[in-house]
């Protein structure tokens, strides 16, 4: 398979994944397919997977993660600073996976394929081709 197609697939898949998760926590997905369904449920889950974090920091942590996911998702889709954004994405997803694993057990992180997504982001960060990216235009 062509490396350019693989890179595009990784960018779009990771980017849409981030934006879909944000849409879920903002209530844009129907309740039948939603993981959180609203901001309050998302913040409650953020507290569950970050039990070491003081309660006053839970909502800001959720907000920071959400803003990062929107930016990373958008930048990955348009191909802006792909290697850098992919690396940051890999770290964000890895932190999420480790938080799940250490707080609720490894099964949740494995069922959600969090480590595979983190690995995919890190793999994307190693791909240097600039075809179909905004960086190649600028």
The domain segmentation of the chain, as residue ranges, is: 3-137
In whole angstroms, how large is the CA radius of gyration of the chain? 16
Q: What is the pTM of this model?
A: 0.91
Q: pLDDT tens across 45-100, in order?
A: 999 999 999 999 999 999 999 999 999 999 999 999 999 999 999 999 999 999 99
Q: pLDDT tens across 3-49, in order?
A: 888 999 999 999 999 999 999 999 999 999 999 999 999 999 999 99
Q: pLDDT tens across 67-76, in order?
A: 999 999 999 9
Q: Please report where in the chains the tokens 């926590």 appear, as a residue.
A: 25
Alpha-carbon distance 121 to 18, whole Å?
12
- pLDDT at 4 (0 to 100): 86
Residue 116 has pLDDT above 90, yes or no: yes
3-state secondary structure (DSSP) of residue 112: coil
Contact 131, 99 (CB under 8 A): no
With bands split at pLDDT 50, 70 and 90, how would you rate the model's confidence at 2?
confident
């Amino acid at each position: 398979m062509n490396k350019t197609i693989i890179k595009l697939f990784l960018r779009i898949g990771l980017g849409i994944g981030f934006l879909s998760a944000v849409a879920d926590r903002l209530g844009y997905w129907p309740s039948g397919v939603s993981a959180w369904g609203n901001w309050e449920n998302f913040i409650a889950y953020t507290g569950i997977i970050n039990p070491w974090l003081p309660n006053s920091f839970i909502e800001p942590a959720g907000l920071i993660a959400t803003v990062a996911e929107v930016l990373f998702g958008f930048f990955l889709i348009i191909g802006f600073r792909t290697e850098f954004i992919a690396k940051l994405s890999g770290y964000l997803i890895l932190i999420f996976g480790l938080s799940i694993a250490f707080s609720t057990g490894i099964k949740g992180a494995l069922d959600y394929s969090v480590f595979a997504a983190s690995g995919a982001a890190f793999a994307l960060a190693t791909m240097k081709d600039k075809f179909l990216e905004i960086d190649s235009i600028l």
